[in-house]
Structure 1
Amino acid sequence: MRRLWVGLLLLAWLCPAPGRAGPPAPASPPTLTRGINITAWFRFPASRDPAALGAYLSDQALADLRATGFDFVRLAVDPEVIDGVAQRQVLIAAIRRIQRRGLAVVVSPHPHNWRLETDPADRERLLAFWNTLAAALRPLDPARTVPEVLNEPVFANDPAGWATLQHLLLAEIRHLLPHATVVLTGQDWGSIGGLLALPPEDDPNVIYSFHFYDPTELTSLAAYRPGLDRNAVARLPFPVDDRVRCDLTAERSADAATRDLMRYYCDFGWDASRIAAPIDRAAAWARAHHARLLAGEFGASAALNPAARLAWLNAVSETLAKRDIGWALWGYDDVMGLGVSRPPARRPRLDSAVLTALGMTPPM
């Protein structure tokens, strides 16, 4: 197995970039302007039984997404959930149903507990996944079927290692789906920093994705720090237009570590202009490389106070739109976005406040 992996890496090094010959673009490029991540359909499903898996989301629920103004869905897929033929057929049928409602589909692998950075066997599993799934996607409309190489690759301090693997994955996908637009990303969890460290592929039919949750002290209530007073963190303001008031909010917590973190947030004066700064760096990278961008994920916890949450969602979506960067909210069935219950009702009520903050109109 190790010998096979070394051989594949050598092949990737010896071969020209997969797009050098110029893969033909689809007749109509996919429209990826305003999207929604469906997070639990093929990732952590309650059942892998094909009948239950296929029934997760109704046609009416999909129609409501289109009526609201979404033009694409980013479908999170755990490779282990679709490792059976029957489950893979359910996925293809689900993509067809989504597309019949006028939505393009980004298919994004979200492997669980894989160690791609250190385990050659996992890297081979990912290559095998795309070999199988790309073949299954071939009959679908390439203008509305968009493979994404991988969700949030880590590869800490190893952008070259990730670039080598991504090049190999792109070649595998491109061989089977020559007309598809493929979504690529940087390492470091698909961050803007990871994007900036990424050498672009010589392929004209790719889109580069980044994820945006800055500042995480606000959007995830500093989930990376255990033991904090989350109720206090949830009171943080956005924008920070009054530093004294922001500090007073921090003082209301009895926990010293929480107060320090909240003051740290206040020190940065987070507002729309601070949101725009890293996004502008991504946009500059894209201009320099004549590349297209997609903000594949952004969102903020429903536990955050509504005023700050809605203002942050509005600031991010407006910043992206002004720079012609498409986006996808995380997620439809996740508390960082619309928070629809799992499994969704036949016609779930969509959070009108969130949709309004995103500049969209809830369906009647």
Structure 2
Amino acid sequence: MFMQHVRTALAALMLGALAMGAQARGSADDAGRQQNCSNVSRATCTLAHSLGRGVNLGNMLEAPREGDWGVKLEPEYIDIAAKHFRTVRLPVRWSNHASPGADATIDEAFARRVQWAVDALLARGVYVILNVHHYSQISGNGLHNHEFRVDPDVVDTRFINIWKQIAERYKSHPQRLVFELLNEPNGKLDGEPWNVLAAKALAEVRKTNPDRAVMIGPTYWNNVRDLPKLKLPADRNLIVAVHTYDPFDFTHQGVTWRPEPMPTGKTCCNATQKRSMSDTLEKARRWNAQHGIPVHLGEFGAHSAGDMESRVAWARTMRDEAEKRGIGWAWWEFASDFSGVWSPETRGWVEPIRRALLD
């Protein structure tokens, strides 16, 4: 027990030192903007406040097959993201690279691919959020093209066993690696089913990673509206992940994958829209104040069909609303066609979005 306290104290000191050293990479002025951490360890509190400004390496490793969604994870992206952001969220579709049975044995070549990305990012000094992303069946959703179906009776067991393997693989990695159990639980997981499954997955992780920070989000796609339904296990190393795309008719105008695409031409941001945006994060802040567990904004973004001036205004408003509440964030996403901040075609920044996020 004594040694555990020593390790925890040392971890807090190391994270604090890393946070100080990361000020040059997209960091916010956090003075006086601290979340309530009364129900987490000092190390997890320090880590949560150190995540700062981040980006998602989206549409890469969480596609059914890497490259299916028009972009692959290039070494260049690792370098650029790590140089300019303090945190990188790495979405991964493990379920489509694991055996279909209950054991869900992860394909070793794919596991090494993911580990290359994780290790490369950590070597560059950033925080890394590694998750399970787009396991469609677990929420009862339809499958994506090239995603295989498994026996419904083993869907949940596969999820637990996927985390067993991830946790074992990364048990000795630095505490700057954060696990996120599941991206956007929804559908049949809404409410209590997710509380039950998340507790089981966390228990499996804790067998090999007793002190690592783990993110768990509410249901209804990590929406703050479901925070009251979230029942977390007694664990002092948790962070709650929320997402926001409010107002949805602006951020998702023109996306082609919705059954009924929203019309384009919606602008932003008038007083009503700004109020909906700030209200979302204020609800998250109030939840944190009541529960003493820090909150992280793991996704926000506005689809490229919107006009650039409006998208810039939306991005800057959301960034400011999060930062004035001491909430770290990760933009969705880096280099794909939803709201990428980097253009693979020009091999340069989408400069207006970059300025809105980092200047």
Say whether the fold is shared (TM-score over 0.5): yes
Residues 144-170 of structure 1: CA distance to partner in whole angstroms, max 9, x if unpaired? 111101011114584111101111111
Match of 1:44 in 2: 63
Q: Distance in 1 between matches of 2:169 and 2:232?
A: 27
Match of 2:33 in 1: none
- Is 2:80 the partner of 1:81? no
Structure 1 letter corresponding to 2:127: A
Q: CA deviation at 1:348?
A: 3.0
Match of 1:354 in 2: 353
**Aligned 8 A contact 2:52 2:86 in 1:** yes
Residues 8-33 of structure 1: CA distance to partner in whole angstroms, max 9, x if unpaired? xxxxxxxxxxxxx99x7544243311
Q: Distance in 2 between matches of 1:124 and 1:227?
A: 34
Match of 1:114 in 2: 137
- Is 2:326 the partner of 1:324? yes
**Aligned 8 A contact 1:116 1:122 in 2:** no
The answer for unaligned runs of 5 or more in structure 2 is: 16-42, 99-105, 142-151
Q: CA deviation at 1:138?
A: 1.3
Note the 1:104-253 alignment, pairs <5 A. Answer: 104-116=127-139, 119-142=152-175, 144-156=176-188, 158-221=190-253, 226=259, 233-240=263-270
Structure 1 letter corresponding to 2:269: P
Structure 1 letter corresponding to 2:92: V
**Aligned 8 A contact 2:303 2:339 in 1:** yes
Q: Distance in 2 between matches of 1:221 and 1:91?
A: 32
The answer for unaligned runs of 5 or more in structure 1 is: 1-20, 242-268
TM-score, normalised relative to structure 2 = 0.75
**Aligned 8 A contact 2:81 2:88 in 1:** no
Number of aligned residue pairs: give it: 298
Q: Percent identity?
A: 24
Q: CA deviation at 1:45?
A: 6.6
Match of 2:283 in 1: 281
- Is 2:119 the partner of 1:96? yes
Match of 2:54 in 1: 35
TM-score, normalised relative to structure 1 = 0.74
Match of 2:38 in 1: none
**Pair 1:156–1:282, CA change in 2 (3 A):** farther
The structure whose Rg is larger is 1
Equivalent residue for 1:305, pick from 286, 294, 307: 307
**Pair 1:226–1:45, CA change in 2 (3 A):** closer
Structure 1 letter corresponding to 2:171: R
Moved more, 219-228 or 349-358: 219-228
Match of 1:56 in 2: 73
Equivalent residue for 2:273, pick from 263, 270, 273: 270
Residues 57-91 of structure 1: CA distance to partner in whole angstroms, max 9, x if unpaired? 21x433322332x1111101111236211221221
**Aligned 8 A contact 2:254 2:303 in 1:** no
Residues 84-110 of structure 1: CA distance to partner in whole angstroms, max 9, x if unpaired? 112212211221111111211100111
Q: CA deviation at 1:116?
A: 4.5
**Aligned 8 A contact 1:332 1:339 in 2:** yes
CA RMSD of aligned residues (A): 2.8
